[in-house]
Structure 1
Amino acid sequence: MSSKVFEEGSVFYELSKCSHQKVLFCSDEDTGLKAIIAVHDTTLGPALGGTRMWKYRSEAEALKDVLRLSRTMTYKAAISGLNLGGGQAVIIGDSRTDKTEALMRRYGRFIKNLNGSFITAEDLGTSTRDMEYIRMETEYVTGVPVSLGGSGDPSPIAAKGVLMGIKACVKELYGTDTLAGRSVAVQGIGHVGENLVHLLRDENAKVYVSDINEERVAQIAKKYGAQAIANNSIFDLEFDIYAPCALGATVNSETIPKMKCAIIAGSANNQLADEDEHGRLLLEKGILYAPDYLINAGGMINCYSELSGYSKKRTLQLAENIYQATRVVLKKSKEENIPTNKAADMIAEKRISDIKKIKGSY
Structure 2
Amino acid sequence: MTEPSPLVFGRTHGHDQLSGHEQVVFCHDRFTGLRAIIAIHSTALGPALGGTRFYPYHSEEAALDDVLDLSRGMTYKNALAGLDHGGGKAVIIGDPEKDKTEALLRAYGRFVASLGGRYITACDVGTYVQDMDVIAREGQWVTGRSPAAGGAGDSSVLTAFGVYQGMRACAERLWGEPTLSGRQIGIAGVGKVGSKLVDLLAEDGARVTVTDISGTAVDHVRSAHPEVNVADDIEALLKAGVDIYSPCALGGALTDDTTATLATAGVRAICGGANNQLQHPGVEKLLEDSGILYAPDYVVNSGGVIQVSDELHGFSFERAKGKAMQIFDVTRRIFALAGDEGIPPAVAADRIAERRITEISQLYGIYLGK
Q: What is the TM-score when the length of structure 1 is the normalising length?
A: 0.93
Deviations 1:317-337 (A, max 9, x none): 000000000000000001111
Given that 1:209 and 1:221 are in contact with CA atoms closer than 8 Å, whether structure 2 keeps it comes out as no
* Counterpart in the other structure of 2:88: 87
* Counterpart in the other structure of 2:283: 278
User: Does 1:341 find its partner at 2:346?
Assistant: yes
Select the residue among 324, 333, 358 that pairs with 1:328: 333
Quote the Cα distance in structure 2 between the aligned partners of 1:191 and 1:144: 17
- Structure 1 range deviating more: 161-170 or 22-31: 22-31
What does 1:97-116 correspond to in 2, within 5 Å?
Answer: 97-116=98-117
Change beyond 3 A, Cα 1:235–1:35? farther
Q: Letter of the 1:357 partner, please give it.
A: Q
3-state SS of paired residue (2:121): strand
* Counterpart in the other structure of 1:179: 180
User: Does 1:241 find its partner at 2:244?
Assistant: yes
- Structure 1 range deviating more: 147-156 or 232-241: 232-241
Change beyond 3 A, Cα 1:323–1:41? same
* Deviation at residue 216 of structure 1 after TM alignment: 2.2
Change beyond 3 A, Cα 1:110–1:210? same
Given that 1:264 and 1:288 are in contact with CA atoms closer than 8 Å, whether structure 2 keeps it comes out as yes
3-state SS of paired residue (2:275): coil
User: Does 1:304 find its partner at 2:309?
Assistant: yes
Unpaired segments ≥5 residues, structure 1: 1-8
Deviations 1:280-327 (A, max 9, x none): 001000100001111111011001111122111111100000000000
Given that 1:162 and 1:267 are in contact with CA atoms closer than 8 Å, whether structure 2 keeps it comes out as yes
Given that 1:235 and 1:255 are in contact with CA atoms closer than 8 Å, whether structure 2 keeps it comes out as no
Given that 2:18 and 2:68 are in contact with CA atoms closer than 8 Å, whether structure 1 keeps it comes out as no
Select the residue among 229, 252, 256 that pairs with 2:231: 229
Given that 1:244 and 1:267 are in contact with CA atoms closer than 8 Å, whether structure 2 keeps it comes out as yes
What does 1:24-63 correspond to in 2, within 5 Å?
Answer: 24-63=25-64
Quote the Cα distance in structure 2 between the aligned partners of 1:116 and 1:175: 45
Quote the Cα distance in structure 1 between the aligned partners of 2:365 and 2:192: 40
Q: Letter of the 1:266 partner, please give it.
A: G
Quote the Cα distance in structure 2 between the aligned partners of 1:83 and 1:20: 18
* Deviation at residue 17 of structure 1 after TM alignment: 4.4
* Counterpart in the other structure of 1:215: 216
- Structure 1 range deviating more: 24-33 or 225-234: 225-234
Given that 1:14 and 1:60 are in contact with CA atoms closer than 8 Å, whether structure 2 keeps it comes out as no
* Counterpart in the other structure of 1:253: 256
3-state SS of paired residue (2:90): strand
Select the residue among 262, 272, 279 that pairs with 1:266: 272
Deviations 1:328-353 (A, max 9, x none): 00000011110100000000000011
Q: How many residues align?
A: 349
* Counterpart in the other structure of 1:137: 138
Quote the Cα distance in structure 2 between the aligned partners of 1:103 and 1:15: 31
Given that 1:131 and 1:142 are in contact with CA atoms closer than 8 Å, whether structure 2 keeps it comes out as yes
Q: What is the TM-score when the length of structure 2 is the normalising length?
A: 0.91
| Structure 1 residue runs of 4 or more that deviate by more than 6 Å after TM superposition | none
Deviations 1:240-297 (A, max 9, x none): 111111111100112110012111001111111113x101001000100001111111
* Counterpart in the other structure of 1:70: 71
Given that 1:163 and 1:196 are in contact with CA atoms closer than 8 Å, whether structure 2 keeps it comes out as yes
Quote the Cα distance in structure 1 between the aligned partners of 2:133 and 2:301: 24
Taking only the aligned residue pairs, the percentage that are identical comes to 46
Quote the Cα distance in structure 2 between the aligned partners of 1:156 and 1:294: 16
- Structure 1 range deviating more: 312-321 or 181-190: 181-190
Change beyond 3 A, Cα 1:328–1:232? closer
Quote the Cα distance in structure 1 between the aligned partners of 2:257 and 2:315: 43
Quote the Cα distance in structure 1 between the aligned partners of 2:348 and 2:200: 28
Deviations 1:5-62 (A, max 9, x none): xxxx9xxx62664410011111122222111110000010000000111112222111
* Deviation at residue 232 of structure 1 after TM alignment: 4.6
Structure 1 vs Structure 2 CA RMSD: 1.6
* Counterpart in the other structure of 2:319: 314
Given that 1:46 and 1:116 are in contact with CA atoms closer than 8 Å, whether structure 2 keeps it comes out as yes
Unpaired segments ≥5 residues, structure 2: 1-12
* Deviation at residue 109 of structure 1 after TM alignment: 0.6
- Structure 1 range deviating more: 215-224 or 177-186: 215-224
* Deviation at residue 231 of structure 1 after TM alignment: 2.9
3-state SS of paired residue (1:313): helix
* Deviation at residue 103 of structure 1 after TM alignment: 1.2
- Structure 1 range deviating more: 147-156 or 344-353: 147-156
